[in-house]
Amino acid sequence: MRLHGKVALITGGASGFGAETARRFAQEGAAVVILDLNGDGAIQVANEIGNAKGLKGDVTVRTDIDEAVRLATGAFGRLDIVVNNAGWTHRNKPVLEVTEQEFDRIYAINVKSIFHMVHAVVPLMSRQGGGSVINIGSTAGIRPRPGLTWYNASKGAVNLSSKSLALELAPLKIKVNCVAPVMGETGLLEAFMGVPDTPENRAKFISTIPLGRLARPADVANACVYLASDDAEFLTGVILTVDGGRTV
């Protein structure tokens, strides 16, 4: 029960990394609010894990972020942990084929959402005496793959902004850390690969990961539990690579 008594808000929590993180947080004693464009999915996960609330919302819209924060404080009295997990990518393709609309959407979901969240929760966490923010970055921002230039750049922004926020918010006792997974077993996998998700195509990408498999939701969830817990009370500004050795 490493998160007993804590309240967490997780974006993009209806599936993939976010859903598993919500489940693990609940198992460790946290109350959880799940925010996702798939509102039905968010509510379903919340109902499955108990002591949780789910709601539909767009992380690129400040009022939706504010509503999620209000739900957390209204239902559970406080907000201790935020996991900025919601993310998106265009399909792997040559850089000149990426449209402006795709570029804008990548940066709105992957980067601007964190801007909105910081403005929404930092005053609250400061009044409470501290908190923990965990951003889901990516190994793409450390060791990029071709065909994903603007996604790679957006995750580089997530990785670096996590370090900068850690420095700036440390006097408020707000920790900011980043989990950077390698390509994972989620709904975005085929978009990252840019080819059909077949065993043969998976094998080509798995061959670039020394430990010989893709990231699993549980890998990311366990890293988030650690960073959110008191076990990591002296860690801030960390980019924790969950990558099977990909970035070594």
Residues annotated as part of the active site: 151
* The pair of three-digit structure tokens given for residue 155, joined into one six-digit string: 């995750």
What is the tally of helices (H) and strands (E) in the chain?
Answer: 9, 7
How many of the other CB atoms lie within 10 Å of CB of 65? Answer: 25
Amino acid at 177: N
Chain-centre distance of CA 212, in angstroms? 23
Burial grade of 242 (CB within 10 A; 0-12, 13-18, 19 or more): buried
Share of the chain residues as helix, strand and coil, in percent rounded to the nearest 5: 50, 15, 35
